[in-house]
Amino acid sequence: MSDKDLVEKILQKNEQAFRQFVEQYQSLVLKTCNGFVHDADDAQDIAQDVFIEVYQSIESFRNDAKLSTWLYRIAVNKSLNHLRKNRRKQWIQSIENIFSNGDSNANNVQASESAGADFHLESNERAKILHEAINSLPKMQHTAFILNKYEELSYKEIADVMQTSIPSVESLLHRAKLNLQKKLINYYKIF
């Protein structure tokens, strides 16, 4: 079934068509969300939110763009919203931690005791360093980097999703890589 036929059937609330649509694009949405949030469970929840939004607002889809482009846009927006909410929660938690120092000391002891599997701890640590570096990028650079590296989209496809030009995407990606390189090198030079 073509995208156009799929959309028409979903508009008629055809469950089979919607199921086919979900199965066809589930991987795309999941990978995009995971690229932003770096957590499989959160990525699943956000991906569900994306498909719920599609179900509720399919009539607003204009056939001038590809269905996948529209899906990417929704996935990126939902993921960025999730990150924003998380940052607020983390900020509040850090304030709470200042007033409850005893708990944080207990956590540190527990972490060092369970550091038996050095290899796994190292790979988790690497992931954490990478995620922090990627998440610290400016929003547009962040989005372009995730779509290029996690989704392997071409410059043209990224430009369609971000509703910008190809030269802008090239510039965003170049700056994102320079910033990422600087952060990672600074981190490893200290350690």
CA angle 39, 36, 130 (to 5 degrees): 80
Q: Min. distance of Cβ 141 from another protein in angstroms?
A: 14
From the list 10, 35, 76, 141, which residue makes contact with another protein (rule: CB under 8 A)? Answer: 35
Q: Min. distance of Cβ 105 from another protein in angstroms?
A: 29
DSSP, residue by residue, 74-124: HHHHHHHHHHHHHHHHHHHHHHHHHH-HHHHHHHHHHHHHTTT-HHHHHHH
Q: Which stretch binds another protein (CB under 8 A): 1-9, 99-107, 135-143, 172-180?
A: 172-180
* 65 vs 131, beta carbon nearer another protein: 131
Give residues 65-104 in contact with another protein (rule: CB under 8 A). none
Look at the alpha carbons of 28, 26, 30, 61 in this order and tell me if their dihedral is positive or negative.
positive
* 22 vs 65, beta carbon nearer another protein: 22
Q: Which stretch binds another protein (CB under 8 A): 23-31, 85-93, 98-106, 159-167?
A: 23-31
Helix runs in the chain, H state only: 3-11, 15-37, 40-57, 67-99, 101-113, 118-135, 139-149, 155-162, 166-190
From the list 51, 70, 72, 155, which residue makes contact with another protein (rule: CB under 8 A)? Answer: 51
Total residues contacting another protein (rule CB under 8 A)? 33
* 38 vs 142, beta carbon nearer another protein: 38
What residues make contact with another protein under the rule CB under 8 A? Answer: 19, 22-23, 26-27, 30-31, 34-35, 38, 40, 43-44, 47-48, 51-52, 55, 123, 126-127, 129-130, 149-150, 177-178, 180-181, 184-185, 188-189
